[in-house]
Chains A and B, each alone.
Chain A
Amino acid sequence: MAPSNAFEVNGRTAVITGGSSGMGLCVARQLAEKGASIVIVARNEDKLLSGIAHIKGGALSVETQRFHHISADLASPSEAVRVIDEVVSWNSGNPPDIVWCCAGGAHPTLFIDTPVSEFPKQMNTNYFTALYMAHAALRCWLVSSRDTSAGTSISTANKSGVAQVIGSIAPRHLIFTASFVSFFTFAGYSPYSPGKAALRSLSDSLSQEMNLYAAANPREPRVRVHTIFPATILTEGLELEDRVKTDLTKLLEEGDTPQTPEAIATKSIQGLESGQEIITTDFQTGLVRRSMLGGSTRGGFLRGLVDWFLAGWLAIIMVFVRGDMDSKVQKWGREFGASGMKSTSSSTRD
């Protein structure tokens, strides 16, 4: 165990949306391996059942850890509330300690070739599911805790012997999964990247607001807000994505090395354990993050200094990166026409 672990999960309860496949499933399993009790949420009951079986297989202590699954379509706010309520009652009246939103997926097609109905679908899958879960979780943590007398609202799931210093309460964690394209978007991602950019903005606002609550309620567990920014992940979701993706977008993405969901989960957890709020899982995403720092320079003075140094360099590098992408797109348009695909002929006709 790391000397100072900012993301203690042993004996605690975690809820993972999108937890029946891809990154969410790997996250759930790795948290189970570290001793957490797990609830996974997704739409498909069969996938949830096989997911839970896989997660249980990694449990650190099968006798004390508990596992649960909930089938829900989180695109509606009432579903998220139902999920949290169900978790609390399953967890002996205690709120979960960790809520990690992994549900999401991309439909990367060119803007005018995308049916207009796809845009709200993408925003629902990638943004609103996380927004509703975040709201339900935060209301549970910040509003209802005021109704119980001080101290008894703390989770009693510490049976695995994790020592707790009297007066110091382990923080709760709200984790979003955004994307490389939150920082750096390009042709083909118009249905997807706005939702991921919106997620980044939401997590920034919430992180600031949590300072407000922490200051107002110093005796209650702090809520920490984290966001993971992975690039391409080798999952079932990626296969679906690649079926609609244009050849042009594939060309522009060439420099990206896809990672396994296991690797993403491991790196994310490492970032969380070292206390980071903005977590990237590969070198390139780490770089582009510095080009879009805005108000997100968190993590202490030294980290801020490194960020700033890199930000300056990224600023000039991006001029060339953008210029290169723009000319690739322009050349493509002239050579292959407007469809973004290599095989079909020519541009739109009138």
Chain B
Amino acid sequence: MGWFGHNHMPVEGRTILMTGGSEGTGLCVARIFASKGANIIIVSRNEPKLEEAINSIKTTAKSPETQRFHTISADVAESGYAERVVTDATAWNNGQPPEIVWCLAGLSTPMLWIDEGAMKAARNNMDVNYFGTAEMSHAIMRAWLQPSQGAKKTSAEKSRPAAAKHIIFTGSVLSTFSLAGYGTYAPSKFALRALADVLVMEVRLYPDVPIDVHLILPNSITTAGYERENATKPKITQQIEGADKPQSPEEVAQISVDGLENGRYFISTSFVGGLMRWGTMGNSPRDNWFVDTLMAWISPLIMAFVMWDMNSQVSAWAKRNTDREGLSSHTK
């Protein structure tokens, strides 16, 4: 539980690596951390975008003379990418692996299951959203916990008690709740949640290297990625999502950073997102056992009505949109 006012994730003078850091929420997050005095490494595929992004990030730097900035071009969907990125980052960071790693690279290609391209999308979503994050967390945790012979602790580090390292996953409300039309996407986010739940338990095996694990659970974010998502999203999915108000990447970034500074494991970015999460707390760690228990009582009741309503909407929509050839085109 966070103590009032205590910052559980100080970043000044520390080095933070972000995948998906060249646009969207990742870029906003990087700018916030730069303004708090952190050294920044952003990872993405597109080099011109990385250049543009790092220049934008530099402008918010708290102490531009001392803070350092770096870009690494990589495709998170590529098997083996993470080890190379961590090696590059460590070399640039004076032989120390970055202390905070936030995996923001992700995409969503919702479509109905029998649509052409659903299998490719399912594989791609899993590769980028799940494996992109799983591989990075694997590489960085090995670097933290099994440092190679070459890595040395600085004398300053040896004398100071170890500040916790942080690994941050970007999940989704669809890590806790599935919807028609998201069969290609939600499983990758559910998988992320399961991994986070295991890792937050396994890190307790290594008391000499404290590691905090966090899972952000946003709703829709108004980014370029969101535009791409809406290009494939079935109309019925748009309809049942109707009540969800998308948030700006700046807002999501700020709420997430606040949650991290409060030492939270789960960080929902809206009340609706919280409701969805409370319905599936399972055996995940609690940030506030009282609120989480109370809301776990209330949420299933609400969700039962939500589901009943959603299923009725799906049936009604189908009846309205069926012609002689069967279900009419559902994307455009």
Asked if residues B131 and A120 are in contact (CB atoms below 8 Å), the reply is yes
List of B residues within 8 angstroms of A119 by Cβ: 131, 134-135, 138
Asked if residues A146 and B113 are in contact (CB atoms below 8 Å), the reply is no
A311 interface contact, C-beta 8 A: yes
User: Size range of the interface on B?
Assistant: 35 or more
A154 interface contact, C-beta 8 A: no
User: Size range of the interface on A?
Assistant: 35 or more
* Distance of A297 Cα from B241 Cα, bound (Å): 19
Minimum C-beta distance from B289 to chain A (A) = 5
Asked if residues B179 and A205 are in contact (CB atoms below 8 Å), the reply is yes
Asked if residues B327 and A212 are in contact (CB atoms below 8 Å), the reply is yes
Asked if residues B186 and A205 are in contact (CB atoms below 8 Å), the reply is yes
B59 interface contact, C-beta 8 A: no
Q: Residue A135 contacts which of B119, B206, B325 (CB distance < 8 angstroms)?
A: B119
Asked if residues A291 and B314 are in contact (CB atoms below 8 Å), the reply is no
Asked if residues A77 and B119 are in contact (CB atoms below 8 Å), the reply is yes
Q: Which of B141-170 contact A (CB under 8 A)?
A: 141-142, 145-147, 151, 153
A216 interface contact, C-beta 8 A: yes
Chain A-chain B contacts (Cβ-Cβ < 8 Å), number: 267
- Which one of A95-103, A160-168, A262-270, A323-331 is at the B interface? A323-331
Q: Residue A110 contacts which of B205, B306, B327 (CB distance < 8 angstroms)?
A: B205
List of A residues within 8 angstroms of B284 by Cβ: 322
B319 interface contact, C-beta 8 A: yes
Asked if residues A288 and B198 are in contact (CB atoms below 8 Å), the reply is no
* Distance of A187 Cα from B284 Cα, bound (Å): 12
Asked if residues B178 and A308 are in contact (CB atoms below 8 Å), the reply is no
A67 interface contact, C-beta 8 A: no
List of A residues within 8 angstroms of B282 by Cβ: 183-184, 288, 291-292, 318
List of B residues within 8 angstroms of A307 by Cβ: 300
* Distance of A139 Cα from B31 Cα, bound (Å): 46
A and B contact pairs by CB, cutoff 8 A, 25 listed: A127-B126, A131-B187, A134-B113, A135-B118, A135-B119, A183-B282, A185-B197, A186-B201, A190-B195, A193-B198, A197-B190, A198-B187, A198-B190, A201-B178, A208-B180, A208-B310, A215-B322, A216-B321, A293-B280, A295-B279, A315-B297, A322-B285, A325-B283, A326-B201, A330-B204
Nearest 5 Cβ contacts at the A-B interface: A315-B296, A194-B191, A198-B187, A215-B318, A204-B178
Where the two chains meet, the residues of A that have a C-beta atom closer than 8 Å to any C-beta of B are 77, 110-112, 114, 116, 119-120, 123, 127-128, 131-132, 134-135, 138-139, 142-143, 146, 181-190, 193-202, 204-206, 208-209, 211-217, 248, 288, 291-295, 297-298, 304, 307-308, 311-312, 314-316, 318-319, 321-322, 325-326, 329-330, 332-334, 338, 340, 347-348, 350
Question: A123-B131, A193-B194, A319-B293 given. 16 additional CB < 8 A pairs?
Answer: A181-B194, A186-B198, A186-B283, A188-B198, A194-B190, A194-B191, A198-B194, A201-B174, A212-B112, A212-B315, A217-B322, A292-B281, A294-B176, A307-B300, A315-B296, A315-B297
